[in-house]
Amino acid sequence: MSKNSEVSVLSTELLVTLDNALALTRDEVRTLHKNYGNASLVTLMSMLNFDRQFVRAEGTRVWDSEGNEYLDFLGGYGSLNVGHNNPHVIRALERVKNLPNIIQANIPTIAAALLHNLAQITPGKLKRSFLCNSGAEAVEGALKLARAATGRKTFIYCRNSFHGKSFGALSVTGREKYRNSFEPLLPECVEVPFGDAGALKRALREHEAAAFIVEPIQGEGGINVPPAGYLVEAARACREAKTLFIADEIQTGLGRTGAMFACQHENVEPDIMCLAKSLGGGIMPIGAFITTDDIWHKAYGSVEKATLHTSTFGGNTWAAAAGIAALEVLLKENLPAAAAEKGAYFMAQLKELKRKYPLIQDVRGRGLLTGIEFAQPGGLANMATMGLASKLSTEYLGSMVAGELLNRHRIITAYTLNNPNVIRLEPPLTVGKEELDYVLNALEDVLKRNKGFFSFAATSAKTVLKSIRGK
């Protein structure tokens, strides 16, 4: 196919139809992405054979175009709490398929029900929600709300945090790699160490901040759990400074950590909460930020201010229906409690692996949000490479372990974006104990076969060469 600049001759013959798209081979998919999308990402994914073509999914399992079955322990970065293609969510979409999906000149029916439901399940006085399309959009909306409600400009955020890659969200994301190419970002954004209440208090004294935004557990930072009491102390310090406390529960929320929301482990009531990912039941893109009556009215509580923050697709019928159904599954199947029980078992077994294998430096998390951090090369090997071995290990060991799990055991996982030396294990909350055991056994097999960074590097090199020969 070739592009023709003459608008008058454009026709469907230039397009790939849906029928043809469904019939594309793995090679054809790769070629289209290379030609029309992010070619460098295709190269990166291909190196460790992460460019498989998945054609079916159900619950915790997916199947590729060659008929191989995989366990999904990545879970869409927390988007699949109720599993792949949950039948209750799909039935909900079937029930609304003939309703208008997007009509701007009305007050949408299904969205009204979801707004009510969010107010019922969130902590404290959280009541008024804005429905959007993603986590980054929810963060953007929360930041705008904080400025509008307080009249202040400054935001405080945590080192190693991740809140999204749009400009506002990126401005309060704590990794330079993702920020440098896009500077200048929002001004008056102040970074403090995660888990350090004293540093936060100093920043609150030095800056008249609109809001402090924090993940109750840092996801992309490496599944970092703060010290006990940190969130309580942070929320109290924010109240004393008249600074709004924003809890980013996009990855930690909706049952993932063993409670409906991670901040509830310490009985913290945020001023604003951000949600997304699994709110769409693993099928529809949807996000939300929710706040109190008082804060909402300060920002948008008049006819003149009613349209200051809007979204074309936010609260559309299909997305809202998926959100309603996802919440029903979470509550009816008591998935937060399931995450707590299964997560405790999984964590105990992973810590036993840590005791046996020095390559595991740390295991941490809560519920079914788990991270494994790997030890760095030391001694003569690292000295001989002038520290290069340690640097390479920090950036690539996590992906090598994930590659081994995928290629040898057909388990899907990945490293965390801000700390590539950590792999996350984040399955759907519907995961079974036998599936947890399978992953534990697979991890032990990988650790037995590979004693350190250089061993993994040699294995990965073989995988890359095999992949290149086969393409």
* pLDDT given at position 132: 98
Single out the residue in 271, 303, 332 at which a domain terminates: 332
Q: Do 217 and 131 fall into the same domain?
A: yes
In a domain, 45, yes or no: no
* pLDDT given at position 11: 82
In a domain, 203, yes or no: yes
The alpha carbon of 145 is separated from its chain's Cα centroid by a whole number of angstroms, namely 22
Going residue by residue through the chain, which has 471 residues, state the pLDDT in tens, using 9 for 90 and above: 455 555 567 788 889 999 999 999 999 999 999 999 999 999 888 877 788 999 999 999 999 999 999 999 999 999 999 999 999 999 999 999 999 999 988 899 999 999 999 999 999 999 999 999 999 999 999 999 999 999 999 999 999 999 999 999 999 999 999 999 999 999 999 999 999 999 999 999 999 999 999 999 999 999 999 999 999 999 999 999 999 999 999 999 999 999 999 999 999 999 999 999 999 999 999 999 999 999 999 999 999 999 999 999 999 999 999 999 999 999 999 999 999 999 999 999 999 999 999 999 999 999 999 999 998 765 444 444 434 444 555 567 888 889 899 999 999 999 998 888 999 999 999 999 999 999 999 999 999 987 665 666 666 655 544 544 455
Q: Do 299 and 341 fall into the same domain?
A: no
In a domain, 5, yes or no: no
Q: Do 152 and 214 fall into the same domain?
A: yes
* pLDDT given at position 180: 95
Structural contact between residues 429 and 256, judged by C-beta atoms closer than 8 angstroms: yes
Measure the CA–CA gap between 187 and 80, rounded to whole angstroms. Answer: 35
Q: Do 223 and 135 fall into the same domain?
A: yes
Domain that holds residue 171: 87-332
Active site amino acids: 162, 248, 277
Q: Do 126 and 179 fall into the same domain?
A: yes
Number of domains into which the chain is organized: 2
Q: Which residues contact 66 (CB under 8 A, 6 or more apart)?
A: none
Single out the residue in 332, 362, 383 at which a domain terminates: 332
In a domain, 77, yes or no: no
CATH, residue 199: 3.40.640.10
Q: Do 141 and 165 fall into the same domain?
A: yes
Q: Do 196 and 324 fall into the same domain?
A: yes
Q: Which 3-state string (H, E, C) describes the chain?
A: CCCCCCHHHCCHHHCCCHHHHHCCCHHHHHHHHHHHCCHHHHHHHHHCCCCCCEEEEEECEEEECCCCEEEECCHHHHCCCCCECCHHHHHHHHHHCCCCCCCCCCCCHHHHHHHHHHHHHCCCCCCEEEEECCHHHHHHHHHHHHHHHHCCCEEEEECCCCCCCCHHHHHCCCCHHHHHHHCCCCCCEEEECCCCHHHHHHHHHHCCEEEEEECCCECCCCCECCCCCHHHHHHHHHHHCCCEEEEECCCCCCCCCCCCCHHHHHCCCCCEEEECHHHHCCCCCCEEEEECHHHHHHHHCCHHHCCCCCCCCCCCHHHHHHHHHHHHHHHHCCHHHHHHHHHHHHHHHHHHHHHHCCCEEEEEEECCEEEEEECCCCHHHHHHCCCHHHHHHHHHHHHHHHHHHHHHHCEECEECCCCCCEEEECCCCCCCHHHHHHHHHHHHHHHHHCCCHHHHHHHHHHHHHHHHHCC
Structural contact between residues 457 and 395, judged by C-beta atoms closer than 8 angstroms: no
* pLDDT given at position 471: 52
Q: Do 221 and 294 fall into the same domain?
A: yes
Q: Do 122 and 257 fall into the same domain?
A: yes
In a domain, 74, yes or no: no
CATH, residue 409: 3.90.1150.10
In a domain, 185, yes or no: yes
In a domain, 199, yes or no: yes
Measure the CA–CA gap between 430 and 335, rounded to whole angstroms. Answer: 7
* pLDDT given at position 455: 67
Q: Do 263 and 173 fall into the same domain?
A: yes
* pLDDT given at position 382: 44
* pLDDT given at position 8: 62
Q: Do 308 and 418 fall into the same domain?
A: no
In a domain, 288, yes or no: yes
* pLDDT given at position 460: 61
The alpha carbon of 355 is separated from its chain's Cα centroid by a whole number of angstroms, namely 29
* pLDDT given at position 389: 44
Q: Do 364 and 411 fall into the same domain?
A: yes
